Amino acid sequence: MDTNDIFVGMTGNWISIEPLIATGAVDVFAMDMNCSPPSLEEYVSKYPTTFVSVSPLVNIRGVDKHIDYVPEKATAQAEQIVNLAIENFVKRKGKGVKIPNKVQSAIVGFSIESILSLLGGSLNPLLEAIKRGQLKGVVGLVSCTSIGNGPQDVPTITIAKELIKRDILILSMGCGNAALQVGGLCSTEACELAGPGLGSLCRALGIPPVLSFGTCTDTGRLSILVSEVAKALNVDIPDLPVAVTAPQYMEQKATIDAIFALAFGVLTHVSPTPPITGGARLMKLLTEDLKGITGGCLLLENDMVKAADAIEAHILAKRKALGIN
């Protein structure tokens, strides 16, 4: 098989589905319940791709193949989908594909264990970098993507660049994570975009300034890491120089993540503005009163530079309170 006839790799997040299929190089597109745009109906008849839903919740016009996922039958169902792909490849081979030439490398798969391994088995190097100001703080970027507050992924990439140039390390999750990989911020070359402190730290460790930490459902793992940092410094989580940003949230899972972050005691930036600003008591609770309850606080800001300003100011204030400014 000529590998030029197929696509190997990742194209981005859910808004990238349509241009991916338009390459003509996709044999099977298996649709789960999340992020399958109904506009795919137009692609069913236009491009040489076999579409199959794997959830009873997905019923897009024109898609007549349904293999509803059953855990006990996962192996057999996977074989069915693979066979559909093989059949499709035989039919479309030689009809031409349009695959973009640009390829972006990315270092992915960071976890608590791999971070500790890079640090020699202990959080101490990270803590010392924070204490001496080489690293101001850490931000968890847990984001979807949409076009509700700007072009696809532009707000996500903008705030990430703003934060790393201010010597703030990013741990990224969700569709926003894919955006940062495609945008080149999960490569060691991105160290050149980081501030002098973060840049030198990343070069010494051989890591990018944005650590790809997984999906939007990996926030639990991230909270474990934050908890360990708090234990090591012998402080409460709200006292840490950390924050969360969701610069292009869309999914219901992002709402859950934001609520969790607020309950966890962390400054949480959200954009686009959610439909809560008309509730005066709710806004007061989330932006003011919550500071005295959990330590968390909601930040609503659609200008990504201003959002980065506010996050940096919050981190600097936390550093000052800890006596490490």
Which pLDDT does position 247 carry in this prediction? 94
Q: Which domains does the chain have, with CATH numbers?
A: 3-92 (3.40.50.2030), 112-322 (3.40.50.2030)
Q: pLDDT-based confidence at 4, cuts 50/70/90? A: low
pTM value? 0.86
- Work out the percent of the chain whose per-residue pLDDT is above 70: 96
Which pLDDT does position 209 carry in this prediction? 96
Q: In the 3-class helix/strand/coil scheme, how is the chain assigned residue by residue? A: CCHHHCCCCCCCCHHHHHHHHCCCCCCEEEECCCCCCHHHHHHHHHCCCEEEECCCCCCCCCCCEECCCCHHHHHHHHHHHHHHHHHHHHHHCCCCCCCCCCCCCCCCCCCHHHHHHHCCCCCHHHHHHHHCCCCCEEEEEEECCCCCCCCCCHHHHHHHHHHHCCCEEEEEEEHHHHHHHHCCCCCHHHHHHCCHHHHHHHHHHCCCCEEEEECHHHHHHHHHHHHHHHHHHCCCHHHCCEEEEECCCCCHHHHHHHHHHHHHCCEEEECCCCCCCCCHHHHHHHHCHHHHCCCCEEEECCCHHHHHHHHHHHHHHHHHHHCCC
Which pLDDT does position 220 carry in this prediction? 82
pLDDT digits (tens, 9 = 90+) for 225-266: 899 889 988 999 999 999 999 999 887 888 888 999 999 999
Q: pLDDT-based confidence at 119, cuts 50/70/90? A: confident
Residues paired with 242 in a beta bridge: 138
